[in-house]
Amino acid sequence: MLLQYLLLPVVFIILVKVARRATRVKSVPYGTISHMSLVPHGEASVSGAAPHSFGTIEEAVVSRASVPDTSTDDRQAAEMDSPSPVDSQTERQAHVAYDAEALVGYYQKMVEIRLFEDATTKAFRQGKIGGYLHVYSGQEATGTAFLGAMKPEKGDVAIAAYRIHAHALLLGAHPNNVMAELYGKGTGIVKGKGGSMHLFHAEGGMLGGYGIVGGHIPLAPGYAYGLRYQGKDGVVQSYLGDGSIHNGAFHEAANLAGLWGKSGMCPTLFILENNQYGMGTSVERATAMTELGRKFESYGIEWERVDGMDVQATLAVAEQVQERVRETGKPYAIEAFGYRIVPHGAADFLEQYRSKEEVAKWREKDPIPLLHGQLIEMGIAEDRLEAIRAEAKAKADEAVKFAEESPDPDLSELLTDVYADDTYVEPAG
């Protein structure tokens, strides 16, 4: 046993070295993303992206009807079978206008998340963060818009999986405490007891933080039922990845949600973050019916797809569907179609399951440079955006400093919080 523990760090160092070499050879810049990378990759995306046009992201999807990777039959079937589909994206964009100033605010949030994640990746590779580390880079447009539509004062909550640093930050957790949690420090947001996969900030409506793929999904319809049962007006946002939709827990949960929604007892907004890979297995390799949002239809749940790489697209939908769910008490589902532009986890060094060309192509659709280009088009000065990036970098650095300087959890914490009343404690050892 002891030998294994001694060998672990050695194996880790070898893996890091192999990965670094692979990175050099392939010239794929997956490593730490400097904040310079937050400006557009190509000229096209700077000059070509007008607000509300999808510009360079010709393949990214706006509505169900324009999914590139599904067969015509599937698409037609989707159009025909979807129970009263909401296909009014264009219409919505016409009346939900986000002015440049509001978008600058979203830019700031997205950049803060990205630079926080860059810092976590760096710390993981330095061996300062243990366990698993799943970063959100590339998916910011989804969380930023939908979590932004939550109204904690009405009792709205989010229940998410394990790629959740952004969810905690966006719901008001302090970056210092989130970083300290990843470092396993006593100042961590869950006292160093959960780590990257179990972030909770109940005060802001962030209710986890679960590491078993699919296992957290049934909690949402139950929580939603509880809210309505108690006469509360809240909405539960249930975040799930494309990898979890093949798990029985998803289907059982969706079935309950549809069923309880019939009597207005299930205000759940499912947000399927389709980043196209469940770990290394692509959607095509995981299911014969790849139009994932349609799986909700089996359970009487309406849904729509949004471009998860463009915050203007997600914003155009978020508040409206949140309020619709609040009003009806019925579940609704969003498939946010996007891409994980970084490895699955910080230890996913080789990425043999996808080509570097594919990754490079999607990195050109990176939501942050996209928004940057849109803001420049709208007349926002580069200096101002640069200042936002610098400030975000400083925040991330401060979080790292706080985490590094924080004390380890007190050893007495080992045995607390096992039971809610803490009257029953078994001794250690």
* Contact between 160 and another protein per CB under 8 A: no
Six-digit token string for 159: 């229940």
Under the binding rule (CB under 8 A), the answer on residue 136 touching another protein is no
Least distance in Å: CB of 411 to another protein? 15
Please report whether residue 194 would count as binding another protein according to CB under 8 A. Answer: yes
Q: Is 270 in the site for another protein (CB under 8 A)?
A: no
97 vs 43: CA distance, rounded Å: 26
**Residue whose tokens read 């949140």:** 322
Angstrom distance (rounded) from CA 334 to CA 61: 13
Residue from the set 219, 313, 336, 399 that interacts with another protein by CB under 8 A:
219
Say whether residue 221 binds another protein (CB under 8 A): yes
Shortest Cβ 418–another protein spacing (Å): 5
Least gap, CB of 414 to another protein (angstroms):
10
Judged by CB under 8 A, which of 62, 67, 160, 220 binds another protein?
220
In total, the chain counts a number of residues equal to 429
Q: Does 145 bind another protein (CB under 8 A)?
A: no
Is residue 345 at the binding interface for another protein, with CB under 8 A as the rule?
Answer: no
Q: How far is the CB of 409 from another protein (least distance, A)?
A: 10
Distance, in Å, from the CA atom of 276 to the CA atom of 284, rounded to the nearest integer, reads 9
Residue 259 is a binding residue for another protein (CB under 8 A): yes
Q: Does 190 bind another protein (CB under 8 A)?
A: yes
Contact flag: residue 301 with another protein (CB under 8 A): no
Our CB check for another protein shows the closer of 237 and 275 to be 237
Q: Does 340 bind another protein (CB under 8 A)?
A: no
Instruction: Considering the complex, state which of residue 79 and residue 417 has its C-beta at the smaller distance from another protein.
Output: 417
Tell which one of 200, 296, 362, 402 touches another protein (CB under 8 A): 200
Q: 240 - beta bridge partners?
A: 272
**Per CB under 8 A, does 101 bind another protein?**
no
Q: How far is the CB of 177 from another protein (least distance, A)?
A: 10
Site membership for another protein, residue 419 (CB under 8 A): yes
Q: Based on CB atoms, which residue is closest to another protein, 73 or 426?
A: 426
> Would you count residue 418 as binding another protein (CB under 8 A)?
yes
Is residue 326 a contact point for another protein (CB under 8 A)? no
Minimum distance, C-beta of residue 80 to another protein, in the bound complex (Å): 27
Q: How far is the CB of 224 from another protein (least distance, A)?
A: 7
- 216 versus 305: smaller Cβ distance to another protein: 216
Q: Of 177, 152, 347, which is closest to residue 236 (Cα–Cα)?
A: 152
The CB-of-301 to another protein minimum distance in angstroms stands at 14
Q: Pick from 189, 245, 368, 385: which binds another protein (CB under 8 A)?
A: 189
By CB under 8 A, residue 167 contacts another protein: no
Q: Does 188 bind another protein (CB under 8 A)?
A: yes
Kindly report the three-state secondary structure assignment for every residue of the chain.
Answer: CHHHHHHHHHHHHHHHHHHHHHHHHHCCCCCCCCHHHHCCCCHHHHHCCCCCCCCCCCCCCCCHHHCCCCCHHHHHHHHHHCCCCCCCHHHHHHHCCCCHHHHHHHHHHHHHHHHHHHHHHHHHHCCCCCCCCCCCCCCHHHHHHHHHCCCHHHCCEEECCCCCHHHHHHCCCCHHHHHHHHCCCCCCCCCCCCCCCCCEEHHHCEECCCCCCCCCCCHHHHHHHHHHHCCCCCCEEEEEEHHHHHCHHHHHHHHHHHHHHCCCCCCEEEEEEECCEECCEEHHHHCCCCCHHHHHHHHCCEEEEEECCCHHHHHHHHHHHHHHHHHHCCCEEEEEECCCCCCCCCCCCCCCCCCHHHHHHHHCCCHHHHHHHHHHHCCCCHHHHHHHHHHHHHHHHHHHHHHHHCCCCCHHHHHCCCCCCCCCCCCCC
By CB under 8 A, residue 376 contacts another protein? no
Contact set with another protein (CB under 8 A): 159, 188-191, 193-194, 198, 200-202, 207-210, 212, 215-227, 229-230, 236, 248-249, 251-253, 255-256, 259, 265, 416-421, 424, 426
